[in-house]
Amino acid sequence: MGLLEGKRAMVTGGSRGIGLEIALEFAREGADVAIADYAPDEANAKAVEQLAAAGSGGAFALRGDVSDPEFAKEAATRMKDSLGGCDILINNAGVTADGLILRMKPEDFERVVRINLNGAFYMLKEMSVLMVKQRSGRIVNMSSVSGVNGNPGQANYASSKAGLVGLTKSAAKELGSRGITVNAIAPGFINTPMTQQLTEKQIEASLARVPLGRMGEPADIAHLAAFLASDKASYITGQVICVDGGIVM
């Protein structure tokens, strides 16, 4: 029996990178997995095919913008109608628009915060309604080491990810009495489509900060997400766990 046998999970930003790896790990562990992503329909359809092949019989995708509160309501309704509820929410959807503060456009700051932080709040708000009714649930917010330590050129991204830390701790205190745990994962330098766009010089500079001396893999994040989403983590809540090769210590 898988670690998440019979569980119903929603993964935002689940069509590629860390989100897809988490969704696939959940499917392999026995969960029915839905993804919510703004990616093109073809990308979402391909992800659903992969999830079905990994064992998720109830896999489906919703295309939309998590920063729209109406989309979050739609996602919760679909989870209830298609899967009967929601046991696990992974708030993974996120974007970047890097730039130094003095040059950063206000719209770039606002867009990153709106998607990364507001979007997580909207999804948490709507999915927790389903969880409260069943008096159980697992919520994992994807923060970042940038949200813990800050990072030059990422004032918008770091602010959004730091905000997720506060959201995680507040929600954990509000929802704990209903059997719902809320935790955050703070990935470090992970091998994803986002980091693959960096130059060789940027990669070398980033690796210089990692005591283990290498990039992490999406699977490193997915393994922890599966544990936090399982019954084995039932007494862990309000925590921010860095998966970063030692950047934050």
Rounded Cα–Cα distance for residues 211 and 209 (Å): 6
Q: 36 forms bridges with which residues in the sheet?
A: 12, 62
Task: Tell me if 60 is assigned to some domain.
Answer: yes
Q: What is the pLDDT of residue 194?
A: 78
Average pLDDT over residues 149-155: 95
Task: Tell me if 248 is assigned to some domain.
Answer: no
Q: What is the pLDDT of residue 199?
A: 87
Average pLDDT over residues 133-145: 98
Check whether 57 has a pLDDT greater than 90: no
Average pLDDT over residues 174-188: 98
What DSSP designation does 61 have?
E
157 an active-site residue? yes
Task: Tell me if 249 is assigned to some domain.
Answer: no
The tokens 């029915």 sit on which residue?
32
Element (H, E) at 242: strand 240-243
What DSSP designation does 188 have?
-
Task: Tell me if 195 is assigned to some domain.
Answer: yes
Q: Please report which confidence band the pLDDT of residue 202 belongs to, taking 50, 70 and 90 as the band edges.
A: confident
Counting every residue written for the chain, the total comes to 249
Rounded Cα–Cα distance for residues 41 and 197 (Å): 23
Dihedral sign (CA 76, 165, 147, 154): positive
Q: Please report which confidence band the pLDDT of residue 164 belongs to, taking 50, 70 and 90 as the band edges.
A: very high
Strands 137-142 and 180-187: parallel
Check whether 134 has a pLDDT greater than 90: yes
CATH code of the domain containing 222: 3.40.50.720
Task: Tell me if 64 is assigned to some domain.
Answer: yes
Residue of 38, 122, 157, 235 marked catalytic: 157
Choose among 87, 171, 72: nearest CA to 134.
87
Task: Tell me if 196 is assigned to some domain.
Answer: yes
Check whether 196 has a pLDDT greater than 90: no
The tokens 């994807």 sit on which residue?
142
Rounded Cα–Cα distance for residues 233 and 1 (Å): 17
Task: Tell me if 1 is assigned to some domain.
Answer: no
What are the DSSP E strand ranges found in the chain?
8-12, 32-37, 60-63, 88-91, 137-142, 180-187, 240-243
Question: What is the percent of the chain where pLDDT is above 90?
Answer: 93
* Residue-range definition of the domain harbouring residue 214: 8-242
Task: Tell me if 3 is assigned to some domain.
Answer: no
Q: What is the pLDDT of residue 225?
A: 98
Rounded Cα–Cα distance for residues 61 and 21 (Å): 15
The structural domain count of the chain equals: 1
Q: Please report which confidence band the pLDDT of residue 162 belongs to, taking 50, 70 and 90 as the band edges.
A: very high
Q: What is the pLDDT of residue 198?
A: 82
Element (H, E) at 149: helix 145-149
Rounded Cα–Cα distance for residues 50 and 22 (Å): 12
Check whether 18 has a pLDDT greater than 90: yes
